[in-house]
Amino acid sequence: MNKVILIGRLTADPELRFLPGNGRAVSNFSLAVDKDLSRDKKQEFEQQGKPTADFIRIVVFGRSAENCANYLAKGRLVAVDGRLQTRSYENAQGQRVYITEVLANSVEFLEWGDNNSAGNKRENNKGSNDSMDFSAAEGFQPVDDDDIPF
Amino acid sequence: MNKVILIGRLTADPELRFLPGNGRAVSNFSLAVDKDLSRDKKQEFEQQGKPTADFIRIVVFGRSAENCANYLAKGRLVAVDGRLQTRSYENAQGQRVYITEVLANSVEFLEWGDNNSAGNKRENNKGSNDSMDFSAAEGFQPVDDDDIPF
Amino acid sequence: MNKVILIGRLTADPELRFLPGNGRAVSNFSLAVDKDLSRDKKQEFEQQGKPTADFIRIVVFGRSAENCANYLAKGRLVAVDGRLQTRSYENAQGQRVYITEVLANSVEFLEWGDNNSAGNKRENNKGSNDSMDFSAAEGFQPVDDDDIPF
Amino acid sequence: MNKVILIGRLTADPELRFLPGNGRAVSNFSLAVDKDLSRDKKQEFEQQGKPTADFIRIVVFGRSAENCANYLAKGRLVAVDGRLQTRSYENAQGQRVYITEVLANSVEFLEWGDNNSAGNKRENNKGSNDSMDFSAAEGFQPVDDDDIPF
DNA sequence: TTTT
DNA sequence: TTTT
């Protein structure tokens, strides 16, 4: 069992890449998920310049990746359901870097507001629907780290 | 919302420390959580020497931390319920290192077998009970990173 | 382990009662949670007059109950985190009725919109905050069914 | 979003049926999931003859259903991951009965012990593996209530 | 008995 | 490197 459920806001517009081998779409973004702080603790953290959120990397594949890239933008509120994944790679300095991230099964859009930070997002969306689920589950197969150029 | 649920095996005996300030117990360990691979994919991964599990850091505080340190050992199967947390610290080389880990609310012991790797573990346990829940939730207060010497 | 996470809309304004013994607040409401249907299946269900959502009873205690009663109304979108609970009671006809419901730990408000169906709701709210979490966890103690007059 | 995760023991051997239309396997069983009671509360409940567990209906489809029927029995410990579902039907007395149950995506076996209550279970299992996951997810399609003869 |  |  490996389940993660997050509700948070995108810290930046999502990235979109395509896997070299099969052209499969991959989207990456980070979520700011508010820490569970009391009102007092939150103030204290803010005053001390300490983060009041956790920043968590999300990866999505396939059509869900494309939907994220097309409809989401910095600041948007989403619910992510997925699993924790660890990867490692060699960086430019030859050091092994360890990554823990959430491989999303589905990304649910919780807002279809107009406060859109990225002017180019959210064309042709369904409009009235405020909770559309673009599942990433369709036939997902785990992918070689080596295929992923980032 | 920030929920994580994992079932996996300890990759090593748990560590136990006490916070400088208040003496609060903190335990750290990693869990090997099997990836969701088909039988074929699993074999392929094994042949290529690729990990068939994800390795995830767990932190627990308070009495639950002490219980983990006292009753768990490398290889034990547990269910962890908690939240994802990100931290960063400066390493010896002056580089910022980012950590993603699970802050456990509760660690449920799913085995009370005899295949105990650490001979000193599992004295005075409740014996017949095979699913004891040592909640970490009692009055947990988020803690300054700076208090944590690791 | 017993975890439930739901995102859905209130099917009616929440009810608020107080336990006879200790005066503790209890709120009840139901959530319409969309079934995971393909676009085609959804249309089919609608045409056949079959429900496209599951309707799930929620119970909340304490301050969270009061917050729900004060700030929520029919149609509002919320995220509920809690545990499944079964109860039974004797009805007027002397039959035993079995109830399965979600005992909420926390109810997160995912909307602070203006399409408020209940004109008397959502006074004095925090305004700018669109994701406020009224935790029900504070010292919750399981409660005798017999204390609950419904 | 609609997620349920339970760890509990079967209250009876699982049932197995096949849907009239397509012959798809369906298995039903109930799980006893311990309530989250303090040691004192638990004793009190036991003395008063009140249940210390919640009893939750599980439905599984497809190959996972067959695996449950073949390998599980009363008393076995499992982890279930699924979604809450509500159904209703007319009973013999012409009254509408409402059912809330968990539609399982996967049933993870957490024990392969020898304390097998049903002598006919657990032939040809994988033996050494103590955490086998028979996913129910493969191409599951929501099914008409009317097709289900129970 | 149900929501957008 | 982070969001409202």
* Cβ A74 to strand F below 7 Å: yes
In whole angstroms, F4 C1' to D46 CA is: 48
Reading the block at residue B121, the tokens are: 């573990």
Reading the block at residue D125, the tokens are: 């299992």
* Average pLDDT per block of 10 residues along chain B, 150 residues long: 95 96 95 94 92 95 96 95 92 86 94 49 36 38 37
Q: Which residues contact D80 (CB under 8 A, 6 or more apart)?
A: D4, D5, D6, D7, D8, D31, D58, D102, D104, D106, D107, D108
In whole angstroms, F4 C1' to D55 CA is: 41
pLDDT digits (tens, 9 = 90+) for A73-92: 999 999 999 999 998 888 88
Q: Domain containing B137: what range?
A: 4-147
pLDDT for position C113: 56
- CB of A43 within 8 Å of a chain C CB? The answer is no
Residues of A with Cβ-Cβ distance to D108 under 8 angstroms? 1
* Cβ A85 to strand F below 7 Å: no
d(CA B68, CA B46): 30
Taking the C1' atom of every nucleotide in all shown strands and the CA of A129, the nearest one is E4
pLDDT for position A124: 35
d(CA D68, CA D104): 11
> Do B1 and A41 lie within an 8 Å CB cutoff?
no
Least confident of A69-73, C105-109, D88-92: D88-92
In whole angstroms, F4 C1' to B7 CA is: 33
Looking at the DSSP assignment, which residues form a beta bridge with residue C133?
C108
Q: Which residues contact D2 (CB under 8 A, 6 or more apart)?
A: C5, C6, C7, C8, C33, C36, C54, D83, D84
Reading the block at residue A73, the tokens are: 């933008």
């944590």: which residue's tokens?
B148
pLDDT for position B92: 86
pLDDT digits (tens, 9 = 90+) for D57-87: 999 999 999 999 999 999 999 999 999 999 9
- Among candidate residues C143, C114, C123, the one with its CA nearest the CA of residue C26: C143
pLDDT for position C56: 97
Mean of per-residue pLDDT scores for chain D: 80
Inter-chain contacts counted by CB atoms under 8 A, chains B and C: 14
Q: Which residues contact A50 (CB under 8 A, 6 or more apart)?
A: B144, B145
Secondary structure E strands in chain C: 2-10, 15-18, 25-34, 53-61, 77-90, 96-109, 133-135
d(CA B14, CA B66): 10
Element (H, E) at C145: none
Mean pLDDT for the stretch of residues A105-129: 55
pLDDT for position B113: 55
pLDDT for position A88: 84
Taking the C1' atom of every nucleotide in all shown strands and the CA of C33, the nearest one is E3
- CB of A34 within 8 Å of a chain C CB? The answer is yes
Q: Which residue of C has its CA nearest to A135?
A: C36
Mean pLDDT for the stretch of residues C2-17: 96
- CB of A101 within 8 Å of a chain B CB? The answer is yes
> Do B3 and A3 lie within an 8 Å CB cutoff?
yes
In whole angstroms, F2 C1' to A41 CA is: 20
The distance in angstroms from the start CA to the end CA of chain A is 27
- CB of D108 within 8 Å of a chain B CB? The answer is yes
In chain C, the number of structural domains is 1
Residue in A3, A57, A142 closest to B5 by CB: A3
Least confident of B115-124, C82-91, D39-48, D91-100: B115-124
CA C74 to chain centre: 11
C50–chain D nearest CA distance, Å: 9
- CB of B99 within 8 Å of a chain D CB? The answer is no
Report the residue count for chain C.
150
pLDDT for position C132: 43
Selected residue with higher pLDDT from C145 and B4: B4
Mean pLDDT for the stretch of residues D121-141: 37
**Chains in contact with D, counting 3 or more C-beta pairs less than 8 Å apart as contact:** A, B, C
pLDDT digits (tens, 9 = 90+) for D2-51: 999 999 999 999 999 999 989 999 999 999 999 999 999 999 999 999 89
C31–chain D nearest CA distance, Å: 11
CB within 8 Å of chain A, chain B residues 59-88: 79, 83-86
Q: Is the pLDDT of residue D130 over 60?
A: no
pLDDT for position B96: 83
CATH code for the domain of A49: 2.40.50.140
Residue in A1, A108, A137 closest to D79 by CB: A1
Q: Is the pLDDT of residue C145 over 90?
A: no
Give me the half-sphere count of Cα atoms (radius 13 Å) on the Cβ side of residue C104. 30
Alpha helical stretches, state H, D6-98:
39-47, 62-71
> Do D77 and B34 lie within an 8 Å CB cutoff?
no
- Among candidate residues A93, C120, B130, C92, the one with its CA nearest the CA of residue D34: B130
pLDDT for position C94: 82
Mapping DSSP to helix (H, G, I), strand (E, B) and coil, where does residue B129 land?
A: coil
pLDDT for position C13: 97
Taking the C1' atom of every nucleotide in all shown strands and the CA of A33, the nearest one is F3
- CB of D110 within 8 Å of a chain C CB? The answer is no
